[in-house]
Amino acid sequence: MFSLEGIKLARNVGAEQMSGKNYTHVLTSTFFRTMQTACAFAEGAGDFTVARFDTSEALNSEEMKEWGAYIKLHGARLVQSEDLIVEESGRMADGFQALCSRLPENARMLAVGHAPLLECLVFGLTGAVIDPLHECEGVILDYDGSKFVLVEEIRL
């Protein structure tokens, strides 16, 4: 369950950094906590009313036991040579890219997920290794219809 402090933080981030971004799609993992976070972002921004909200397995992992062991060993830091990272980054990127290729032209999507899965997805999509993300932090990616480019890291 999302804490009251977490809801307040997400609302503040929504108000200060997400208002006026013209999101057409909001995508979350299937975990309720990420759905709550996305809703708090939307409440804070106040202008997600036309965005389509959905969930995607591309932001999840079926290897949660393996991720638990990975996190104990490495925290949220990405280690490119780990088999889990190689496999998951490819699977996640394929699913996310397939989803994005079906979006209408000029779509603008906000994806809400979990560390270190988001870092793994960014690596799979762009080849970039980013420092661990913390609560309500993220990245901006650009998609030209065939490839993703890391545009900016959003750090609080």
**What residue segments make up the domains of the chain, in order of their start?**
4-154
What is the structure's pLDDT at 50? 85
What is the structure's pLDDT at 25? 94
What is the structure's pLDDT at 116? 94
Rounded distance, CA 86 to CA 29, Å?
20
What is the structure's pLDDT at 49? 85
What is the structure's pLDDT at 1? 55
Q: What is the pLDDT along the chain (156 residues), one digit of tens a residue?
A: 578 999 999 999 999 999 999 999 999 999 999 999 999 999 999 999 888 999 999 999 999 999 999 999 999 899 999 999 999 999 999 999 999 989 998 899 999 999 999 999 999 999 999 999 999 999 999 998 889 999 999 999
DSSP code at position 64: H
Residue 138: how many other CB atoms lie within 10 Å = 22
Place of tokens 């309500």: 136
Rounded distance, CA 90 to CA 4, Å?
35
Rounded distance, CA 140 to CA 50, Å?
20
What is the structure's pLDDT at 11? 96
Rounded distance, CA 120 to CA 117, Å?
5
Q: Which CATH class is domain 4-154?
A: alpha beta
What is the structure's pLDDT at 152? 92
Rounded distance, CA 117 to CA 153, Å?
15
In 3D space, the residue among 151, 149, 152, 134 whose CA is nearest the CA of residue 13 turns out to be 134
Q: Are the C-beta atoms of 59 and 111 separated by less than 8 Å?
A: yes
Q: Are the C-beta atoms of 98 and 146 separated by less than 8 Å?
A: no
Q: Collapsing DSSP states into helix, strand and coil, what is residue 127? A: coil
Which value, in Å, is the radius of gyration of the alpha carbons in the chain?
Answer: 15
The whole-model pTM stands at: 0.91
Residue 148, beta-bridge partner list? 143
Q: Which residues contact 74 (CB under 8 A, 6 or more apart)?
A: 82, 116
